Amino acid sequence: MKIGFIGAGKVGCSLGKYFCEHNLDVIGYYSKNPESAIHAAEFTDTMYFKDIESIIEASDTLFLTVPDGAIKDVWDYIQNLSFKNKIICHCSGSLSSAVFSKIDIHQSYGYSIHPLFAISDKLNSYKNLSGAFFTLEGSKECLQKMQTLIRSLGNTVQVISSENKHLYHSAAVFVSNFMVALTQIGIDLMVKCGFDENDALLSLKPLIVENIQNIVKQGTVESLTGPVERYDLETITNHLNSLSEKERQLYILLSEELLSIAKKKNPDRNYDELKIMLGE
């Protein structure tokens, strides 16, 4: 399998380097920004391609590692070219392989291959990709082949349907991006108490790290602590009275979710009064 990358940003560089480290045959990069493609080729010790036509001809598998909004535009250009028996992939978490419209006309196969991992560093994220869980969705003809490819790297892969792609990506946003938002709210509240931002984050770090480690180790039910789980109505009331309206609404919505978890942890405890309070 000869793998080419169209797009040489963080995802393209990281996946390309990761593939090379695992002895996959990465041939090189094309980008509308030649400098980024040259840098990616040097970083992975592969080739730089000056045009899309050349990299398509040299590859049998193409990864379109461009921003989500550009995937359709690149595909629209590619499908006007002459090619056959190619595997075309993108790495978007939210888009499905359906973006490769009419790919069957070219007797080729389309896939979305998404590492469930925050790729934040163009030059270093590849070092931690071994711990990433991949999801795969696309044409049935080469689905097993692409599963085998990912598993050959040592990664776990889950096949999902195109219909569930948005739901899947929402799950990732909840545990990744929204976690950042919740942390920022915590920092802001600590600042109101007199902390500066650096000390606020430093003080919250043990809670953040220990909680995530507990969730990963023993699941959400056994990891749940705090006033909702303890059924501490007085503390919850004091919290609600101290928050702004926006913070209060978030607190209530999240507490309602915690309440459903608390009921699983303590099935014999009556949480009815708390449920009514949160509803009010």
| Lookup: tokens for 147 | 């599963």
pLDDT of residue 279 exceeding 90, the answer is no
Check residue 82 and give its pLDDT: 85
Q: State yes or no: pLDDT of 253 exceeds 80.
A: yes
**What is the average per-residue pLDDT within 242-265?**
95
Confidence at 118, pLDDT banded by 50, 70, 90 = confident
Q: Parallel, antiparallel, or unpaired for β 109-116 and 133-138? A: antiparallel
pLDDT at position 87 is: 96
pTM for the predicted model, two decimal places: 0.82
CA–CA distance from 245 to each of 65, 233, 237 (Å)? 41, 19, 14
pLDDT in tens, 33-64: 999 999 999 999 999 999 999 999 999 999 99
Average pLDDT for residues 242-261, to the nearest whole number?
A: 95
Question: What's CA 162's distance to the chain center, in Å?
Answer: 16
3-state helix, strand, coil in the chain (%, to 5): 60, 15, 25
Per-residue pLDDT tens over the stretch 156-181: 999 999 999 999 999 999 998 999 99
- Residues recorded for the chain: 280
For the segment 90-98, the average pLDDT, to the nearest whole number, is: 93
Neighbours of 212 (CB within 10 A): 13
Q: What integer pLDDT is reported at residue 208 of this predicted model?
A: 95
CA distance 68 to 80: 20
Span 195-222, pLDDT tens digits: 999 999 999 999 999 999 999 999 999 9
Long-range contacts made by residues 104-109, C-beta under 8 angstroms, separation at least 24? 104/139, 105/79, 106/79, 108/83, 108/84, 109/138, 109/139, 109/141, 109/142
Q: Where are the beta strands (DSSP E) in 117-204?
A: 133-138, 156-159
What residues contact 107, with CB distance under 8 A and at least 6 apart?
84, 85
d(C-alpha 16, C-alpha 62), whole Å: 11
Rounded distance, CA 187 to CA 181, Å? Answer: 10
Q: 3-class DSSP state for residue 118?
A: coil
Domains and CATH numbers, the chain: 2-163 (3.40.50.720), 175-279 (1.10.1040.20)
**pLDDT of amino acid 120:** 85
Which residues of the chain form beta strands (DSSP E)?
2-6, 25-30, 47-48, 61-64, 87-90, 109-116, 133-138, 156-159
Answer yes or no: are the C-beta atoms of 37 and 29 closer than 8 Å. yes
Cα 117 to Cα 148: distance, rounded to the nearest angstrom: 20
Q: What is the pLDDT of residues 237-249, one digit of tens each?
A: 999 999 999 999 9
Q: Which residue has the tokens 């209530």?
A: 252
Mean pLDDT of the chain: 94
Q: Is the pLDDT of residue 280 over 90?
A: no
